[in-house]
Amino acid sequence: MFTALARRVVAHPWRTIVVWLILAGVAIGLSSTLSSVTTSNQQTFLPKSFESVRAQDVGNKNFAAQSGATGSLVVWRQDGGPLTQTDQSKVSGLATSLTNDKIPGVLSVKTSSSSFSANGKVAALQVAFKGQPGDSLVNSAVTTVRDKSDAYLAGSGLKNGLTGSAAISVDTTAAYDHADTIITIATVILIVLLLGFIFRSPIIAVLPIIIIGVVLSVTDGLTTDLAKAFGFQVGNSLASILVVVLFGIGTDYIVFLLFRYRERLRHGVPPTEALIFACGVVGKVVASSALTVIGAFAALFLAKLGSLNTLAPGLIVAVAAMLITALTLVPAVFAVLGRHLFWPFGPGKTPKSSVFGKEAALVARRPVVVVAGLGVILIVVAIFSIGYKPTYDTLSELPSGTASQTAYDTLGTAFPAGSLSPTQVYVTGNTPLTQSSLSTLTTKLGQAHGVAQVAAPQFSSDTKAALINVILKDDPYSNTALDNVANSVRPAAHGAVPGDQVLVGGQTATFVDIRAQLGADTRLVIPVAFAIIAVILALLLGALVAPLNLLACVALAFAATLGAVVLVFLHGLGYSGIDFTIPMVLYLFVVAIGTDYNILIASRLREEFHNGFSARESARIAIANDAPTVAAAGIILALTFASLMLAGIANLTELGFGVAVGIIISAYGMAPLLVPGLSALEGHGFWWPGHARALPGADSGLSGAVNGRPAAASAGGARPASAPSPDETPDETGEKIG
C-alpha cells in the first residue's frame, strides 16, 4: 500500500505539492488562533457534578459579587517600614479612585479594618471581578487595575501588586506566551544545527522547519475549529506542547525517510527508485508509529478531567496531519529535489565501521549481559518513582519575580497565607437562613484543622442562601491546604445544617476535586492506552509475544523516567513537589512517542528474521543498520523537548526534562539494546505465533536480501551462508561492508 502511494506521489510531485498547499492554506485562512479557546481557569475542566463546581453555580446565582474571580491589591512601603497615617489614607483613596473609575470587569474594590496587617506594614484591598479567571473581560480588568494603581501611587513612596486568582491567570498566560516564543526559537535552532551536522546539507537543515511550521499552523487552526464546534477550551500548556510534539515527531519521520533514502542512493540506486523503496519500507513504520501515538492520545478522551481530555484533539490532529504530510508532501518535495536534496556533498559513502557495528556485535554475542545490565540500571532508577509527590501550586511554578508572585510573597509576610484565596462555604435551603441557624456550622468550621479565620455569614436577598468565607492557615494551593479542606473543612461543613445543602467551593476545593479525579482518570487512561498500543503493535509485527516485550520495555522506560524526574527535582533541586499533570502527560509521551524507535527496530528485526537470518544475526543487522537512525532521531527529539526547560515555568521544565530523559532511554537503551537483546534471547518465541520464515528463493523485497538475492535460512536456523559475519557491518541491503 505504502509503495503504491509512493509511486503515485513521486510520479506527480508538483500536483501533490500544489494540492497540499491549497488545503493547508484553506485550513489556516478560515481558522482563528488557538489562544481564542485557551483558558487558565482549572474549574472549567471539572465535570459539573463536582462539589466545587456546584458551589460555584450557587455563588454565581446568589452572590455574583463574591463568587467571581478575586484579587488582593497589596500595598507596602518601598523602604519596608510601617505604613504611616498618610500612607493609610493614600491606600483608602486608592480604593475609592478605582471604584470611581468604574473599570469594566471590576465589581468592587474595598477596604476594611482587616485590610491593614497587625504589624502595620502591609495593606490588602479586596478586588472582586465580574467573571471567572481567564475571562477576557477579567484579564483586561487586571491590566487596568495594575496600571491605574501604579499611576495613583506614583511618587508616594508606596509599592503595590495585584495577586489572586485573576492576576495569577493573567501572569500564567503571559508566561506561557513568552515560553512559546522561546521554545519555538530554540527548537528551530536545534533542529537546523543537528540536521545540518548529520546530513551536511543546508537544504535538509532548513526544509523540515518550513514543512513542519506549516503543519503547526494547520494544527492550531483545526484544533481551534474543533474547540469551537464542540464547545470546549484548552489549557495554557497545549500550545507549547504542540510545538515540541510536531517538531519532534515530524523531524523523526523525516529523518527515518532520509536515512533509508540516503542508504539506497549510496549503493547507486537511481533517486526515483530509491525514494519509492524508502517510502514503501519507512511508510509502514511511520504509519504504525503515528497510529500508536494517536491511539495513546485517544485514551485521554476517557478522562473526565477536562485539562486532560482537551489535550487529545490537538495532539491527535497534530500527529495525523504530520503522518499525512510525511506520506505525501515530504516524498513529493524529495522527488522534486532529487540528488540536490543532499547538496553540496551528496549522499556520501557508507562508513566501513562505526560504534553501532560494535554495539550490534556485542548484543548478538552477549544478549544476556546486555539485557541484564541495562535492566538492573533502569530498575534502580525506576525505584525512585515511588517517591513521587505532586504539587498543585500553580503560582509557585511561575517564573520568579512574576508580579502576582511578588505581591503574594509580600501578603504572606503579614496575613494568613490563605488570605490569597478564601475557601467559600455555601448554604442553600427552602426556608430563610439566619445567623443563629448557621451558628453550629460556623463553630464547626472554626474548629476544623487548618482554619485561621471564619467570616460572618453573608445572605442572599431572599435569605435562602448564605456564604461563609473561610481563611486557611496555609497556602491555598499547597498539599497541606488541600488535605485540610478534603479531610477537615468539608466533613465539618456537611451535615452541620440539617435539611439544607452545604457546598464547599473556592480555588482550594477545586484542586481537591481535580486531585481526586486525576487519580481516577490515571487508573483508567493508562491501561486503555496500553491496550491500544498492544493491538497496534500486534497487527504491525504479526505476533503476540513481541508486542508484550515492547510494552514491558516502554513501561520500564516510563518508570525509570519518572524516577529520574523525582531524583532530580525532589532530591536534587529540593522542589516541594512535581506538577500534578506530569506523570500522566509523561506517560503518554514516553510510551507513545518512545515506541517509535522500538517499532523501527522491531520492524527491521522482523524483516531480517523472516528473510532467514537467525535471531542473533537479525539483531546484529537491525542494530547496525537502524540504530544510527534511531540515535539521530532520538537526540533531535530529546533536545527538542529539552527546550521546554528554557521557559522558566516549573511544570514545563519538569516535562521537558522528563520527556528528554525518556526519549534518551528509548533511543539509546530500549530500541538498540534491550529490544534486540530480548529478541536474540527468545528466538522463535519472540515472534510467536507468526514466526515462520521466508522459503529459500522467495523474494520478500525486504532489506535482508544480499546482492539483490533473498537470504535463505540454512539448516537448523543458523546464519545463511550469504549473511554477513558477526565482525562485518551490513548495510540496508545486507551487503558486506569492509
Each residue of 200-241: pLDDT tens digit? 899 999 999 999 989 998 998 888 888 888 888 787 778 777
140-146 mean pLDDT: 93
| CA separation for the pair 357, 354 (Å, rounded) | 5
* Lowest-confidence segment of 62-66, 413-417, 688-692 by average pLDDT: 688-692
- What average pLDDT does this structure show over 443-472? 91
pLDDT at 418: 82
Q: Same domain, yes or no, for 526 and 507?
A: no
In a domain, 104, yes or no: yes
Q: Is 111 helix (H, G, I), strand (E, B) or coil?
A: coil
Tell me how far apart the alpha carbons of residues 716 and 3 are, in angstroms, rounded to a whole number. Answer: 34
For 251-298, write each residue's pLDDT tens digit.
889 988 998 888 888 888 888 998 999 898 888 888 888 888 888 888
Is the pLDDT assigned to residue 129 strictly greater than 80? yes
Closest CA to 331 of 378, 273, 372: 273
Same domain for 570 and 427: no
Is 693 within a domain? no
Report the pLDDT value the prediction gives residue 103, as an integer from 0 to 100: 93
DSSP state of 668: I
User: Three-state SS for 110?
Assistant: strand
Instruction: Say which range, 92-96, 244-248, 444-448, has the weakest mean pLDDT.
Output: 244-248
| pLDDT surpasses 90 at 149 | yes
pLDDT recorded at residue 43: 60
Q: Measuring CA to CA, which residue among 449, 561, 427 is closest to residue 499?
A: 427
pLDDT confidence of residue 174? 83
pLDDT mean over 589-615: 81
**In this structure, how many other beta carbons lie within 10 angstroms of the beta carbon of residue 573?**
10
Same domain as 666, residue 585: yes
The model's confidence at residue 733, banded by pLDDT at 50, 70 and 90, is very low
Q: For 694-716, how does the pLDDT look when each residue is reduced to its tens digit (9 = 90+)?
A: 434 333 333 443 333 333 333 33
Rounded average pLDDT over 162-171: 86
CB 704 within 8 A of CB 608: yes
Is the model more confident about 731 or about 302?
A: 302
**Is residue 253 a part of any domain in this protein?**
yes
Given this model, what pLDDT does residue 353 score?
Answer: 60
Q: How far apart are CA 432 and CA 436, in angstroms?
A: 11
Same domain, 324 and 472: no
- 415 belongs to a structural domain: no
628: pLDDT strictly greater than 60: yes
Stretch among 176-180, 199-203, 439-443, 661-665 having the lowest mean pLDDT: 176-180
- 201 within domain boundaries: yes
Contact yes or no for 593/637 (Cβ under 8 A): yes
Model pLDDT, residue 736: 35
Domain harbouring 442, CATH code: 3.30.70.100
**Residue whose C-alpha cell reads 487548618 in the numeric block:** 450
Domain end call among 127, 147, 163: 163
Terminal Cα distance for the chain, rounded: 35
Domain membership flag for residue 35: no
Together in a domain, 489 and 548: no
Q: Is 463 left (phi over 0), alpha (psi -120 to 50) or beta?
A: left
Same domain, 601 and 478: no
| Residue whose C-alpha is closest to residue 191's, from 639, 708, 704, 594 | 639
Q: Is the pLDDT of residue 397 over 80?
A: no
pLDDT at 42: 59
Q: What is the pLDDT of residues 25-75, one digit of tens each?
A: 888 887 777 777 776 665 666 778 889 989 988 988 888 777 777 888 999
Average pLDDT in the 420-424 region?
Answer: 86
Write the CA distances from 529 to 517, 532, 555, 655, integer angstroms.
18, 5, 12, 19
Residues 493 and 637 occupy one common structural domain? no
The answer to whether residue 717 scores a pLDDT higher than 50 is: no
Q: In what order do the strands lie in the sheet with 106-110?
A: 106-110, 122-129, 70-77, 158-163
In percent, the amount of the chain with pLDDT more than 90 equals: 28
Let me know whether 524 and 467 are in one domain: no
* pLDDT on residue 350: 67
pLDDT for res 648 = 77
Per-residue confidence band for 379, with pLDDT thresholds at 50, 70 and 90: very high
Number of domains present in the structure of the chain = 3
Q: Which of 50-59, 302-311, 370-379, 663-672 has the lowest mean pLDDT?
A: 302-311
Please tell me the pTM assigned to this model.
0.75
Give the pLDDT of residue 732.
38
Per-chain mean pLDDT for the chain: 83
pLDDT at res. 698:
35
Do 339 and 308 reside in the same domain of the chain? yes
Q: Quick check: is 735 in a domain?
A: no
Segment among 476-485, 511-520, 683-692, 729-738 with least mean pLDDT: 729-738
pLDDT of residue 592: 67
pLDDT for 470 equals: 93
**What's the pLDDT at 722?**
35
Structural domain for 73, as ranges? 69-163
Domain match, 206 and 309 both = yes
Specify whether the CB–CB gap between 415 and 473 falls below 8 A: no
How far apart (Å, rounded) are the C-alpha atoms in residues 389 and 387? 6
Cα dihedral 111/116/122/123 (nearest 10): 0
Q: Where is average pLDDT lowest: 25-29, 40-44, 445-449, 549-553?
A: 40-44
Question: What confidence category does residue 683 fall into, taking pLDDT thresholds of 50, 70 and 90?
Answer: confident
List the single range of 233-247, 435-449, 603-617, 669-683 with lowest mean pLDDT: 233-247
Same domain, 663 and 576: yes
pLDDT value of residue 351: 65
SS3 705: coil
Interatomic CA distance for residues 663 and 657, integer angstroms:
10
Query: Is 732 inside a domain boundary?
Result: no
Specify whether 485 is located in the same domain as 623.
Answer: no
Domain boundary among 478, 512, 546: 512
Query: Is pLDDT at 311 greater than 70 in this prediction?
Result: yes
pLDDT for 692 equals 47
The last residue of one of the domains, among 128, 144, 163, is 163
